Homo-oligomer: A and B are copies of this chain.
């Protein structure tokens, strides 16, 4: 019985005529609306959203200068440092795919990923130079290697053709990047842990990254300007999309190289951290830490724990510490935390 309403046929369904959903748009907005707010803290270093946007555009420009673009893969082997955060924007700004590598893996597995993912560029923190040097000997293709020479790194050597800060200094801070033409374009390549054979690649797209970054806000009822401590590795499902969430809220990323109780409590106290995520092991470590490490933390911190249902000891332990805990579960294949244990006020 249906007839066709004339309006319905008029809706333009051609993706090429629409703005793609992409989390890259969050960065441009944060830099425009909140240029002077702090985007990244790493040790004594602070970067505003204006500076972060410029640095990401420099990175994209420098990569584009090497011919990196749509269809290419850029791998990163790094802890939660500013370069890792910036790679989440600078790499896809070129149209390329970001392949974050698990820093706990051995050289053979890393070599498999670099080969399988066809990375053309590898950005790598000096602390992992032994593993990476070994892995690169096992990769037949020649990769361009860029070292992150972080003053807070513990040892290691510079291996590559360029150092990250010098590399991006050569890029254009006004680089004219584009949103993807199609929101289904790939943004990231992550490998699952390979418990059942070789690691398997998971490709995520701009649309999914946008929606999951926003979903973090809705699910966790995140306010504007959260102060987020990076206890969760960004190499793990792109840090559950939180690098992008933080730009959407113009929040602050507090970097963390090592997941240890003393620096975590210190940073929570010093920067008034409001949110952090982690596996149950992280929460257990904090619960079992000496009480004096927690002294002076008066504000409420919201924590997200992923994995199987956390034991009562974690839930109660975090509550005693004044932490508001949210439990999620997810998979790399679904951008991280796909389901939440919805709390009822009662």
Contacts and interface: CB of A to CB of B under 8 A. Distances in A.
- Chain A, interface SS category: loop
Interface residues of A, number: 48
Contacts of A345: 225
Residue of A2, A185, A223 most packed against chain B (CB within 10 A): A2
Nearest to A37: B344
Nearest to A67: B1
Contacts of A224: 221
Contact of A342 (B5, B13, B33, B117): B33
A252 to B, nearest CB: 12
A10 to B, nearest CB: 7
Contact of A69 (B1, B34, B69, B184): B1
A11 B15 CA distance: 15
Given A13-B182, A184-B13, A8 B223 contact: no
A67 B21 CA distance: 35
A71 B223 contact: no
A11 B203 contact: yes
Interface in A244-270: 248-249
B185 A8 contact: yes
Contact of A72 (B2, B186, B211, B218): B2
Interface of A: 1-8, 10-13, 21, 33-34, 37, 67-73, 97, 117-118, 182, 184-186, 189, 201, 203, 205, 211, 214, 217-218, 221-225, 248-249, 342, 344-345
